[in-house]
Amino acid sequence: KQTFEVEVGESLQELQAKLYSLTQVPIERQKLLYRGRQLKKDGDLAKVKPSGKLMMMGSADELKAPTKKYVFEEDLSASEKVQLTKENVAGLNNLGNTCYMNSTVQCLRFIPELKASIQKYTSDPAGSGDMHSKMLILMGDMFNRLDKATEPFTPMAFVNIFRTAFPQFAQRGKSGMYMQQDADECLMTFMRVAGSQLSPKYGLDPNSKENVVKQLFGFKISRTLKCAEEGDDEVKTKEDSLDKLTCHIDEKTNFLVQGIEKSLDEVVELKSSKLNRNASFKQTTRLKTLPKYLVVQFVRFYWKKELGKKCKMLRKVKFPMKLDVESFCETPLRKSITARRMKDKEARDKELGLDSLQVVDKKAKLDPEKSDSMEVENTIQPSETTGFYQLFGVVTHKGRDADAGHYIGWVHDKDEDWSKYDDEKVSPCKEEDILALCGGGDWHTAYMCYYKRLDEMPPPPKKKGKK
């Protein structure tokens, strides 16, 4: 027998619901009595005095033990954690300072076109069979195993053949341990191997004249050299190709764009045929084409003569989630990108019910001198791409020494969700954690940024909060 204090109110059903929450006696089993008489309708509650006592009879529901077993995260094994979180989160075991390789592999395996090309190559019986071929096949096998793995994978076969093919990555220190290596050198080596094996037939465009690596990462540039000294006014222009951009860092570099601009506009010393001696030349580099995937390296390591080793520049350099490369492009490409953006803006304005063409006409009437230039701009063929790139991967380095420290890979999942690949340990993180990798201290600092070209602008993110 138990006693409860409740407000009777005016509704019998509400009173029964309150009693059910207190006693677990279902409403259909409740029998309420006041002064010996049963309460059957709302009107009967009017007879109950404020300090009156009610009696309820009925049997409560039997309490059952939980049918589902709950386990805390800290009690799970590594494989169980992977299964409960998401796919594609398997890590790589470290085989002696191979974090530089592990972090690079984790970023590369999230490039679907590269994985598909390696898969085609692996299935082709006409492979060359040399060491580079075996290395590429093992890389494809490693990608497949990581995609399916529920626990960390040990890439022993791949690491062994990589170190055999490229002995510089098999160097050992005085203690006999394998030495730390450079993640950028590792990436460039991977690209050379893949480029030598993945002919156009393994890519998205079998009719292309370029191998798969060039199709994905390569881009054409124009270089203009102009002597900065009197007596030589010759201007030289030549075309070349690159697989990445670099971000030069000095005491004035605060943003990635500034560092890239420094690398594209620099002064070099060359032999002047007119002056018959070395002279200073201003070298201007501009992009003629835009790659599907753009890799940017932060030039953080430099040789310090007094210490006799490569040291690291810790300066804070912010990088964007969305990189605008329009200003890095040659004039024709830049104008084509501008035309594309105007076309996209007109389409968006039309969707919103705005007439952007009328706005342009009004501006032309206000400034007739600009109307002719507008007509010329309208004749330019819009680019197939937007000139924007979206960040999807970052390789960071922690430490002050190039020959030591630790590399980690960070890869975008969806929305603001990212994954942190610290060798065999994989953990979730957010976009704000990625933006904090800009340097300025001994924390993990961005060293390589992987961007994907945006041929179509994604829809704006939905605003959070109350509707």
Which residues are known catalytic residues? 99, 406
Amino acid in the structure at residue 154 = T
Residue 210 phi/psi, 5-degree rounding, is -110, 150
Q: Residues 288, 205, 185, 430: is their CA dihedral positive or negative?
A: positive
Backbone angles phi, psi at 390, to 5 degrees: -105, 130
Using DSSP's 3-state secondary structure scheme, residue 312 falls into: strand
Buried b (16+ CB within 10 A) or exposed e, 300-339: bbeeeeeeeeeebbbbebbbbeebebbebbbeebbbbbbb
- 326 in Cβ contact with 389 (< 8 Å): no
SS3 320: coil
CB hemisphere CA count around 29 (13 angstroms) = 11
Cα–Cα dist 431/434, whole Å: 5
* Strand duo 245-248 + 293-299: pairing: parallel
Grouping H, G, I as helix, E, B as strand and the rest as coil, residue 316 is: coil
- CA distances (Å), origin 420, targets 203, 279, 426: 29, 47, 6
Are 412 and 405 a contacting pair, CB within 8 Å? no
Here the tokens at position 393 are: 């991967």
DSSP per-residue codes, 19-69: HHHHH---GGG-EEEETTEE--SGGGGGGS-TT---EEE-PPPPP---SS-
To the nearest 10 degrees (0 to 180), the angle between helices 356-366 and 371-378 is 140
Return the SS3 of 454.
strand
Pairing relationship of beta strands 309-312 and 265-272 according to DSSP bridges = unpaired
Element (H, E) at 280: strand 277-287
